[in-house]
Amino acid sequence: MMFIMGFAAIVSTTCKLFPGGKECWLNAQMFHAAWDGLRHHDTIFPLFLFISGMTFPFSLSARKAKGASSRRIFWRTVLRGLLLCLLGLVYNKIFDLDPHFRIPSVLARIGLAWMFAAWIYMACGWKWRTVIAAIILIGYNLLLLIPAPDAAGAGSLTLEGNIVGYIDRVLMPNHLYKPGLFDPEGLLSTLPAIVTAMLGQFTGEFVKDSACKRKTLCMIIAAAALLAAGLVWSLWFPVNKSLWTSSFVLVVGAYSLGLFALFYWLIDVKGWKKWTPFFTVIGMNSITIYMLQRIVSFKDITEFFLGGAAGLMPKAWGTWLLAIGYFAISWLLLWFLYRKKIFLKV
């Protein structure tokens, strides 16, 4: 969330302070890959979904311990999934009453993928869940070998020729990120996203229930295995966030698991926690700042306080100052909410 609320802009504007910074590798990581390939910015969304899946084994046990029935928990997952879909519509400015507003959204994908993964978790043991995850990824790969009926000769894994975009064009042609063409959060590509949430569930379940004394090492080994499998798969099914390809699921799952293993070792094993409050403030209200950035003009607030100072500086330095100010204002708002114990949870 730190990158979404302005840190990516700080990195990008810092790079541009130096000759050739706009074309440097680090600056490129602050933006999505155009199609095939992987950049740091492509890992943020699936990491959110991985984390949401990881928390479910803990929340499920807590609710059962309080006496909640399976039926009640099931309907709670439905409510959460639908509420995230609703927030996604709000984020897409449904209140503008534009008849062609975008329907798919990041929040809807998190809500739906998490919800279906939660149902699978409640219904199946880990062995069957492993089988289901494999079937989804392999089946999705096979589906994407079929070119869209309107591909006009374009390959089945291209922007114009993939079956994912075709289904969205048929069902909601005027409500896509790229109207009449494609949406990276479309319907069919939600299927492999379910597995991203399931990988988080496997991780949460392992941390919660396993008696293993070397959990960090086991998670690192699992991450290495996922990475190897994803890279091999990518030789014929490229890593692609927009299509949420099966290789993308495995590679970014490896990244997510590896990061979690690192922070688990630092915080839970070694007990190094003094540096965490800065990030806790952000994490505890991630949906809040995600929605507020869409509703409230933090850019105008930043200009109000720092526009004058930025105007006295060379353009690159002024842009850099405004980027830092934007992030600082966002963080201070979250810190205020944190101090007041105000949290938006779905």
Encode pLDDT of 151-168 as tens digits.
999 999 999 999 999 999
Long-range contacts of residues 218-223, Cβ cutoff 8 Å, at least 24 apart? 219/257, 219/258, 219/260, 219/261, 219/264, 220/258, 220/261, 222/257, 223/254, 223/255, 223/257, 223/258, 223/261
pLDDT at 345 over 90: no
Bin 69: left if φ > 0, else alpha if -120 < ψ < 50, else beta.
beta
Amino acid in the structure at residue 298: F
Task: Label residue 98 by pLDDT band (50, 70, 90).
Answer: very high
Instruction: Please give the Cα distance from 109 to 194 (Å, whole number).
Output: 9
Residue 2 token pair: 């730190």
pLDDT at 35 over 90: yes
Instruction: Please give the Cα distance from 120 to 109 (Å, whole number).
Output: 16
Helix axes 126-143 and 246-263, enclosed angle (nearest 10): 140
Task: Label residue 144 by pLDDT band (50, 70, 90).
Answer: very high
Cβ neighbours of residue 53 closer than 8 Å, sequence gap 6 or more: 114, 117, 196, 197, 198, 199, 200, 201, 203, 204
pLDDT at 108 over 90: yes
- The secondary element (H helix, E strand) that includes residue 341 is none
Q: What is the average pLDDT value for the chain, to the nearest integer?
A: 96
Mean pLDDT over 247-275 rounds to 96
Instruction: Please give the Cα distance from 48 to 205 (Å, whole number).
Output: 17
pLDDT for the residue 69: 94
DSSP state letters, 26-56: HHHTTS--SSSS--GGGGHHHHHHHHHHHHH
pLDDT for the residue 344: 87
pLDDT, one tens digit per residue, over 42-66 is 999 999 999 999 999 999 999 999 9
| Percent of the chain residues topping a pLDDT of 70 | 100
pLDDT for the residue 211: 86
pLDDT for the residue 312: 96
Cα end-to-end span (Å), the chain: 16
Mean pLDDT over 242-264 rounds to 98
Task: Label residue 213 by pLDDT band (50, 70, 90).
Answer: confident
Q: Which residue has the tokens 């390809």?
A: 245
Mean pLDDT over 263-278 rounds to 95
pLDDT at 277 over 90: yes
Task: Label residue 212 by pLDDT band (50, 70, 90).
Answer: confident
